[in-house]
Chains A and B, each alone.
Chain A
């Protein structure tokens, strides 16, 4: 572990309904709300059972991790004394509500698994993750043949990022969206399509061919995991199989293969090979679209590239109609990451393209910033208000800046000009000036 606990700790203010505000430092990624309450119970007179925490208009639920609420350094959490049993009742009601939605359920499951202390410990060590991936023979072969992919897997920060993503569904969705846009943008750039094609050759093809060889192994794995292949063309709504379940509970009645049971006995983390094997399982889903594409004209293949990406997006939220579905979301997550890495690799992008890309990384891994997104949105899509062609010198001089201010919602042209004059043409200072002088 490179980061120590104290480095990830944040200081949060707590505001009891009676008594004084106090600060408390903890690591939100390592703590459930319940644990936080127990910690706070020692500092206040409120027992953890009757303590309720409110942050940002929400009542924090005991079983959630604190960071799932987005609590950040310097923020304030309200501490309220309530009756003991109601919090539990509410939590039960909420969890049953979320369970009815299979999509949520799957995400919750993933998050729950990722949040479990054991998994955290394992995954926080990039070495272990890497060796897990490398244990899979097909993966290893592929990496040996393609050093580019090997680099990605050897990069501890990449692995950590992947795990963080899997933990946070919101971040996940954000990433997927950004990835789509990044691909679309790449295509609009002259020469961008060639990069996509090269990317396909160096990255996707090896992945794909690795997948083809693994079909038999894949079927064995499916059997081992108690998965039966649902009919094609139907949405697989059955819950994920429990890889830890005893073999004799095999639900489709087929006897377990010897390799399967011996593996589960020798490996205390029965489900973990899933990560390694998950790659080829997911790839099999891609083979059809990829095959189509290679025979079609270049122009079509561009669109199918994007289509395919949006397809992967869909399949991560709904269950894909294929027996590989249990490992699918995981695979897709990684694959998207790989693609993301690849598209933003400076080696393959000209300076101009880099400029375009710069938009994304900032919002990718930080928390989604509503303001930034808003600005981006307005500069991309929103119909721009037509400004009357100015004749006065400052209006011409600041035409671009004025347009930007208008887009941001500062509609008073005269005030905008005053602000820009006062700020010497700098838009940011002008905004500050406008906000400080609302009656100007």
Chain B
């Protein structure tokens, strides 16, 4: 079976991110336009409604190493957030505690990760968790 190579995959994701194809709750793009390896990405998650995260925008950094999409990206929150799957010292999303990272599949994308994190925010156990003031960052 022919696997879609990393570059093609990431280019496809870049286009999707720029054109805003998706459910519109998450946004992502390359951190720097001259990153030829397309490794470093910015992401934002718009806080889900009817939760403590409503009207907040969370910024994240995603790093796709050379094994992506065979292995999951590493994901860090820049905006401070109180979530069980997020390391409170570094902002790193613990891959063991987020389902889509722990059970990574090749057809998962950066958007999968962001929407999964958003679902985690809206999770009944998490949606009332007290949150640090908006604008603070790790």
Contact = CB atoms under 8 A, between A and B. Distances in A.
Interface stretch (B11-19, B86-94, B96-104, B118-126): B11-19
Contacts of A74: 19
Interface in B1-34: 1-8, 11, 14, 17-21, 24-25, 27-34
B44 A76 contact: no
Contacts of B56: 82
Contacts of A439: 1-2
A438 B4 CA distance: 7
A78 B25 CA distance: 8
Given A367-B33, A374-B7, A437-B2, A59 B59 contact: yes
B34 A368 contact: yes
A416 B36 CA distance: 25
B130 interface: no
Interface band, chain B:
35 or more
Given A54-B27, A412-B1, A412-B2, A374 B8 contact: no
A27 to B, nearest CB: 19
A72 B18 contact: yes
Given A56-B28, A438-B2, A438-B4, A80 B46 contact: yes
A373 B35 CA distance: 9
A77 B7 contact: no
Contacts of B14: 370
Chain A interface, DSSP helix/strand/loop, else mixed = mixed
A334 interface: no
Contact of B44 (A58, A377, A408): A58
Contacts of B18: 55-56, 72, 75-76
A412 B5 CA distance: 11
Given A57-B41, A72-B18, A377-B36, A90 B135 contact: yes
Contacts of B129: none
Contact of A410 (B2, B17, B59): B2
Contact of A409 (B6, B19, B38, B42): B6
B136 to A, nearest CB: 9
A93 B5 CA distance: 39
A147 B35 CA distance: 40
B52 to A, nearest CB: 14
Nearest to A419: B2
Contacts of A70: 33
Contacts of B30: 56, 370
A36 to B, nearest CB: 16
A57 B5 CA distance: 23
A371 B15 CA distance: 12
B81 to A, nearest CB: 15
B2 A440 contact: yes
A293 interface: no
Contacts of A89: 135
A370 B20 contact: no
Given A58-B42, A75-B20, A170-B33, A409 B2 contact: no
Contacts of B8: 408-409, 431, 435
A370 B41 contact: no
Given A56-B42, A435-B8, A440 B33 contact: no
B34 A170 contact: yes
Given A76-B20, A82-B56, A371-B7, A170 B42 contact: no
Contact of A374 (B31, B36, B42): B36
Interface in A363-404: 367-368, 370-371, 373-374, 377
Contacts of B20: 13, 15, 75-78
B43 A59 contact: no
Given A78-B20, A374-B36, A57 B6 contact: no
Contacts of B6: 409
Contacts of B3: 411-412, 438
Contacts of A81: 55
B22 to A, nearest CB: 9
Nearest to B29: A56
A57 B44 contact: yes
Given A17-B24, A408-B5, A415-B1, A368 B135 contact: no
Interface string A275-302: 0000000000000000000000000000
Given A370-B38, A409-B6, A431-B8, 8 more contacts: A15-B24, A55-B27, A57-B43, A58-B27, A59-B44, A86-B134, A412-B2, A434-B2
Q: Which 8 A-B pairs have the closest CB atoms?
A: A56-B29, A76-B20, A409-B5, A57-B42, A415-B2, A373-B36, A57-B28, A57-B29
Interface of B: 1-8, 11, 14, 17-21, 24-25, 27-38, 41-44, 46, 55-57, 59-60, 134-135
20 contacts: A54-B44, A56-B27, A56-B42, A57-B42, A57-B44, A57-B59, A58-B44, A74-B19, A75-B18, A77-B20, A80-B46, A170-B32, A368-B34, A370-B34, A370-B35, A370-B37, A374-B7, A374-B38, A408-B8, A440-B2
